[in-house]
Amino acid sequence: MSKSTFKVDTRLAYLLSENYRSPEKALKELVDNAWDAEALRVSITLPEPMSGDAIIVEDDGAGMTLNELQNEYLNVARNRRQRSGDFTPNLRRKVKGRKGIGKFSGLMFAASMTLETRARGTQSTFCLDRDLLESSEGLPEMPLEIVNSDVSPDVHGTRINLAELNQSQKFPNENKLKQVLIADYGREEGFEIVINGKPLGVDDLQGEYKEESIQLSSGEAKLRSTVSDQKRKLRKPGITVRIDGKVVGDPSFFGLDKDDDIPRKLLDKCYGEIEITGCSDDVTADWGAIIEGSKTEQDLISSIQPVLREQLKSVYGQEMHLAQARLRKRAKDRISRLPENRRAFADEAIKKILDRFYQEPEDKLEPVVNVLLNAIELNDYRVVLEHINDAKRSEVSRFSEALEEFGIIELAMVAEQARSRLRFLDYLEGMCGRKETLEVHVHKAIEKNLWIFGAEYSLFSSNETLRRQVEVYLNSKYVGDREDKRPDLFLTENINGERLLIEFKRPNHSLRFKDYQQATAYRNDFHQNGIDKQINVILIGGKLGNDLSIQERREPNVKIMAFADLISSARRQCQWLLEAK
């Protein structure tokens, strides 16, 4: 028997560098490495295209010793998280690097990469050259000379020099690079990115930028804001308040998010910050928010709202107005034929649809508007109830016939609803059969369709007051490492005062006992917080694992379901309604 080993061709470095869709994404990988190295500042120098100068990425992070360079950095595809965890050791940053291949990203557009890293009094330098790669049989056999020297123990960080840029490749665009970086790092405190000598800021976001002084009761403040005109989603949109250089709470829209005139999707295009001197007395003790109702809060609301409104109108006003005007005009005649008491409702409902889906194409919006108007126009209940009202003073036989009409309409509506629900179940079954379907997808599909679990569950309703109470509780309990481990859906209450907690898993996930424990732990959390009424639990996912087959191990009022069984049961109920009709 002969023994053989894998050989890794040097071409692998190029193949890995081709993972990036753009040179800007490739450069971002190097910034991610600086973030993981706990750098406070990273500087990127982009030369003029065709100049022959190098791209330089330099950070003041921890750097690497010779030992770390050899055993970690040069270890291709090494998973740092498995060895060091999900967070950096000192600043507790969430680690960005996942695959251990970002080191090759610069080779997407450079023939030579020189890395110079300094840590704990030593400096190590090596060069990765395209000609050297091509002349070697494989990466393990490629000679790599690392030059070491002594430096001051106070000096640390890494400098990457990308030279001999490939002129046939697309050159990194400074503006596009800024959009990529601001989306991920625009709100990160203690991490400054400098591109060609200028720190990355609000004014670098592509869109309409505005900077102006605002007069507050306590003095003058400076507002800098941009309304993005890009499709790229912003990280933490809104306006950040900075008082005496310190950030207060999360970004805010200062009441515009409660205004029906402005769609939420539009507000998510707003990005900026306001710098205030003083006013610290109007900040909560933990600096988590400005005190509600304080003079500072009132001043900010009255001052910032008009500025953001004007910017939104300037960037998106015409687009929104034209789309709404065309559809409103086509719906106007139909609305005018409705009973007077329904016209305002129809008009408001259409407005909400247009605001919510303002970015959708007009040919997708129009059918939604038509369905809404059809539902308002074809209200058979209204006609029948008017007939009953007219007949109630007549002889009993005519009155009973009128009441019978209501039952006939009721049966017809039940049949139509059953047919519609069967179509819904077909769509849901198709979605559950797709491998890419996640918990969030089935959560969204089922949240407003609780009838699928059975008639008794359709009686659960959402109580806004309790929802806010629970949200406050969850935000205090599920933070830090547990932030993404909160329950999926918590509803209240049915006719018996019971609560309902639903935990969704992927349709292709086999449910295990630990999933059951997770769902019941959520219920215990709520009970410990003072919610003493019964909480029913539903755990739903793919097929049931063997360790869930033992009924004796389960707590009361817990249902465990597979999507296939759930859909089959709901389908049988709908079919029975149609057959019995």
Collapsing DSSP to helix, strand or coil, 55 comes out as: strand
**pTM for this model (two decimals):** 0.54
Name the nearest CA neighbour of 400 among 411, 392, 412, 409: 392
Q: Is residue 149 part of a domain?
A: yes
Q: Are residues 273 and 175 in the same domain?
A: no
Which of 223-232, 259-268, 501-510, 563-572 is least confident? Answer: 259-268
CATH number assigned to the domain comprising residue 161: 3.30.565.10
Cβ–Cβ under 8 Å, residues 235 and 272: no
The reply to whether 24 falls in a domain is yes
Task: Tell me the two tokens of residue 239.
Answer: 């306006």
- Same domain as 439, residue 424: no
pLDDT digits (tens, 9 = 90+) for 511-561: 888 888 888 888 887 777 666 778 888 899 988 887 776 555 678 888 888
* 126 and 217 assigned to the same domain: no
In this structure, the answer to whether residues 96 and 241 fall within a common structural domain is no
Retrieve residue 191's tokens.
């991490």
In a domain, 4, yes or no: no
User: CA-CA distance, 515 to 554, in Å (whole number)?
Assistant: 12
pLDDT digit string, tens, across residues 46-80: 988 778 889 999 999 999 998 888 888 777 656 66
| Residues whose CB falls within 8 Å of the CB of residue 575, separated by 6 or more in sequence, listed in order | 418, 422
**Is 16 among the domain residues?**
yes
| 485-503 burial code (b ≥16 CB/10 A, e <16) | ebbbebbbbbeeebbbbbb
- Integer Cα distance of 464 and 490 in angstroms: 11
Domain boundary among 364, 399, 428: 428
* Average pLDDT estimate for 194-208: 92
Q: Tell me, what's the pLDDT at 134? A: 62
In a 13 Å sphere around the CA of 516, the CA atoms on its Cβ side amount to 22
Distance CA 161, CA 147 (A): 16
Q: Could you tell me the residue range of the domain that residue 189 belongs to?
A: 11-195
CA-CA-CA-CA torsion sign (430, 433, 435, 438):
positive
Boundary-marking domain end, from 318, 339, 355:
318
Q: Is residue 2 part of a domain?
A: no
What amino acid is encoded at 340 in this protein? E
**Are 282 and 300 part of one and the same domain?**
yes
- Kindly state whether residues 423 and 446 are assigned to the same domain: no
Q: 168 and 25 in one domain? A: yes
Say if residue 465 is in the same domain as residue 547: yes
Do 272 and 414 share a domain, yes or no? Answer: no
- What's residue 141's pLDDT? 57
Output the pLDDT for position 1.
Answer: 45
Residues 313, 335, single domain; the answer is no
**Residue 578 confidence (pLDDT) above 50:** yes
Of 356, 334, 352, residue with least CA distance to 343: 334
On whether both 41 and 160 belong to a single domain, the answer is yes
| Most distant pair of Cα atoms in the chain: their distance | 108
CATH number at 245 reads 3.30.230.80
Q: What is the pLDDT of residue 461?
A: 59
| pLDDT at res. 61 | 95
DSSP calls for 539-551: EEESSBPGGG--G
112: in domain: yes
d(CA 517, CA 159): 48
pLDDT at 411: 67
Find the CATH number of the domain harbouring 463.
3.40.91
Could you give the number of structural domains in the chain? 4
In a domain, 155, yes or no: yes
81 and 155 housed in the same domain: yes
- Answer whether 298's CB lies under 8 Å from 218's CB: no
Burial (CB < 10 A; 0-12, 13-18, 19+), residue 34, is buried
**Whole-angstrom distance, CA of residue 516 vs CA of residue 537:** 10
Domain edge (last residue) among 158, 178, 195: 195
What is the reported pLDDT for 194?
96
Contact status, residue 106 vs residue 162, Cβ threshold 8 Å: yes
